[in-house]
A and B are shown apart, each in its own frame.
Chain A
Amino acid sequence: MAPALCANCNTERALIKRPKNHAKLCKACFIKVFEEEVHHTIISSRLFHRGEKVAIGASGGKDSTVLASVLKILNERYDYGLELVLLSIDEGIKGYRDDSLETVKRNAVQYDMPLKVVGYDELYGWTMDQVVATIGKKGNCTYCGVFRRQALDRGSKMLGIKHVVTGHNADDIAETVLMNLLRGDLARLSRSTSIVTGDSRSEVKRSKPLKYSYEKEIVLYAHHKKLDYFSTECIYSPEAFRGSARSLIKQLERVRATAILDIVRSGEDMARLVPRDTSSSCSCKEQKNAAPIALAEDDVGGCGSQNGRTPGNEMAAMDKQLRDNEVHEKFEIDVAKVISEGKKTGPEKQQWGLPTRNGNSATGAVGGQVLGNCERCGYMSSQATCQACTLLDGLNKNRAQIQI
């Protein structure tokens, strides 16, 4: 095969085939285009304002490393006037976070940004190692996810910063869209697609400047720019991507690469169709406030700093749930048939009205919820006690038992 030339400059050899439009680009043009597209996202969504202090949620992984690198470049190139700070969360997992924190420390030097590390132990009195020692490996991702969510907010509050950016990419968003769609959770679907979460009511605003960037391009950007990042699997949730929505997304990409952005855009379009009182919460309330504690299946789980990376096997769990639904449906049809004998349209209607398991609670809850503060820690919460405090309660009871 004769080497293809870059479609942009027509001089250099093409090294990248872009998943979003199949354009063949050389290294330099790809890097430029990648950065310019993030710039476009930032400008068109008016993410920042001059003089703003922004914390970059940094895990040492590819996404946050690329985010830090690109933001530094754009901040200088386009004179955003931002004050950028790296904010890292130490979950307290020996042998996992220790190494990645070393990467973040190197990044801080490389990008000349101050670094703040906030530990679960100082925030909650528990490291993840201790949590796992108490509750076992099952379900620990839930704790980690809930704790991390607050940790970023609390960490930025400590720094006096009101805006945290995270490295969530298009693949992450597409995965969340799919999961929420399959769950029928419209409220969360709507929130998960918005580029900014948190409004004047919440103290810390969150945004995702890499929302439209393919994970593939993020990895290629890191590779071609020789960025220093750390990749590993969480020792408590190895191979979280096996049998997950993640692997479905990757298979779709293999068949048709544009599928990922298509799903993100479809998610946004569907979010617009969500009834007003539900969708209005999309840009103003964080996931954690919207629904009563949704445990393992909530999209707070996962490894690294990416909450889009859900714990494995949820597809299997979903499959089971759908099968259960079918079983229930069968029962219902039988009943319906008896009732609506002679009326042909009856059973069908009954069928459709039925299996909205999570949907009910989610949409119902959003409408009737009032955002308040956790009576324990003061963190914003729609419940009397926030998720983290509720989980901590359980943990502390266990610790008391163990000590006795």
Chain B
Amino acid sequence: MGSESAATIPITVDFSGGLEMLFDNQRRYLISLPVTDESGKAANIAFLIEHLCKHYMKDPRADLFVLDGHIRPGILVLINDADWELEGEEAYEIKSKDNILFVSTLHGG
């Protein structure tokens, strides 16, 4: 707190199941996520999703990723390989070196 350059947490974010198409066809991103959001709350998954939309989404079709401010139903979120439902979903506070995977179940083959 107080310092000019905000501290960040290094994490890995993966996209698969077709979601990579929304993120410049890149499957893996090494991201330095701000430790806190604008209001000073510890960075959680909800903040990460917002952050990804703002800074990494390379496609105008944001609604294929986020719907009504939440992750689109049908997209699975795995936190260090565990279903985010086991980890507190959007409220999960992100830790250094976490791996967050977004995988779509919506795309066909």
Our pick among A1, A220, A233, A303 for the contact of B76 (Cβ within 8 Å) is A220
**A100 is an interface residue with CB less than 8 A from chain B:** yes
Which residue, of A60, A219, A247, A305, has the highest number of chain B Cβ atoms within 10 A?
A: A219
A16 in contact (CB, < 8 A):
yes
Closest residue on chain A to residue B93 by CB atoms: A1
Interface string of A284-308 (1 = CB under 8 A from B): 0000000000000000001111100
The residue in chain B whose Cβ has the minimal distance to the Cβ of A61 is B109
For the complex formed, measure the closest distance between the CB of A62 and the CB atoms of chain B, giving whole angstroms. Answer: 6
Residues in B33-76 with C-beta less than 8 Å from chain A: 61, 63-64, 72-74, 76
Q: Which of A33-41, A224-232, A377-385 is found at the contact surface with chain B?
A: A224-232
Cβ of A223 within 8 Å of any chain B Cβ, yes or no, is yes
In the docked arrangement, what's the CA distance between A64 and B108, Å?
Answer: 10
CA distance A65 to B72 in the complex (A): 24
Interface string of A202-216 (1 = CB under 8 A from B): 000000000000011
Interface pair B109/A230, CB less than 8 Å apart: yes
Question: Is there an interface contact between A232 and B18, defined as CB atoms closer than 8 Å?
Answer: yes
In this assembly, does A320 line the interface, its C-beta being within 8 Å of a C-beta of chain B?
Answer: no
A77: min CB distance to chain B, Å: 25
Q: Do the beta carbons of B83 and A233 come within 8 Å of each other?
A: no
Which residues of B in the span 69-101 have a Cβ within 8 Å of any Cβ on A? 72-74, 76, 78, 81-83, 85-88, 92, 101
Segment with Cβ contacts to B, from A186-194, A248-256, A261-269: A248-256
Query: Which among B81, B92, B105, B108 is the interface contact of A304 at CB below 8 angstroms?
Result: B108
Chain A residues within 8 Å of B81, by CB: 15, 27, 224
B18 & A219 in contact (Cβ 8 Å cutoff): no
A251 near B109 with CB under 8 A, answer no
B88 smallest CB distance to A (angstroms):
6
Known: A216-B76, A239-B64, A247-B74. A231 touches B109 (CB 8 A): yes
Q: Which of A100, A215, A224 contacts B109 (CB 8 A)?
A: A100
B103 within 8 A of A: yes
- Nearest-neighbour CB distance to chain A for B108, whole angstroms, equals 3
On chain B, the residues within 8 Å of A239 by CB distance are: 61, 64
Q: In the bound complex, do residue B73 and residue A13 qualify as a contact, i.e. CB atoms below 8 Å apart?
A: no
Q: Could you tell me the distance in whole angstroms from the C-beta of A229 to the nearest C-beta in chain B?
A: 7
The number of residues on chain A lying at the interface, defined by a beta carbon within 8 Å of a beta carbon of chain B, is: 48
Chain B minimum-CB-distance residue to A255: B73
Instruction: Check if A234 sits within 8 Å of B61, measured CB to CB.
Output: no
Docked-complex contact B76 and A64, CB < 8 angstroms: no
Pairwise interchain contact B108-A61, C-beta atoms closer than 8 A:
yes
Residues in chain B near residue A234, CB distance under 8 A: 108
Q: How far is the CB of A342 from chain B (nearest CB, A)?
A: 51
Check if A24 sits within 8 Å of B86, measured CB to CB. Answer: yes
B16 at the A interface (CB under 8 A): yes
How many angstroms from the CA of A276 to the CA of B92 in the assembled complex?
53
Task: Give the residues from 36 to 68 in chain A that come closer than 8 angstroms, CB to CB, to chain B.
Answer: 59-65
Let me know if A246 is at the binding interface, CB within 8 A: yes
Asked whether, in the complex, the Cβ of B86 is within 8 Å of the Cβ of A17, the reply is yes
B92 contacts across to A, CB distance below 8 A: 1
Instruction: Determine which residue in B21, B63, B104, B106 has the highest number of CB atoms from chain A within 10 A of its CB, and name it.
Output: B106
Q: Is A240 an interface residue (CB 8 A)?
A: yes
Contact of A1 among B72, B87, B104, B106 (CB under 8 A): B87
Q: With an 8 A cutoff between CB atoms, is A4 at the interface?
A: yes
Q: How far is the CB of A255 from chain B (nearest CB, A)?
A: 9
Q: Are A62 and B73 in contact (CB under 8 A)?
A: no
* A233 near B86: Cβ-Cβ < 8 Å: no
Report yes or no: B18 in contact with A231, Cβ–Cβ below 8 A: yes
Cβ of A309 within 8 Å of any chain B Cβ, yes or no, is yes
B76–A229 CB distance below 8 A: no
A241 proximal to B (CB < 8 A): yes
Scan A13-32; emit 1 where CB is below 8 A from any B CB, else 0.
11111000000100100000
Q: Which residues of B contact A (CB under 8 A)?
A: 16-18, 21, 61, 63-64, 72-74, 76, 78, 81-83, 85-88, 92, 101, 103-109
- Contacts A14-B86, A219-B17, A240-B108 supplied; 11 other A-B pairs, CB < 8 Å: A1-B92, A17-B86, A61-B107, A224-B81, A231-B17, A231-B108, A232-B109, A233-B107, A242-B64, A250-B106, A303-B108
Q: Give the 4 A-B residue pairs with the shortest CB-CB distance, closest first.
A: A61-B109, A304-B108, A250-B74, A250-B73
Please, could you name 18 A-B residue pairs with CB atoms under 8 Å apart, sorted by A?
Answer: A1-B86, A1-B87, A1-B88, A4-B86, A14-B86, A15-B81, A15-B83, A17-B85, A59-B108, A61-B108, A62-B109, A64-B109, A65-B109, A223-B16, A233-B108, A241-B74, A250-B72, A250-B106
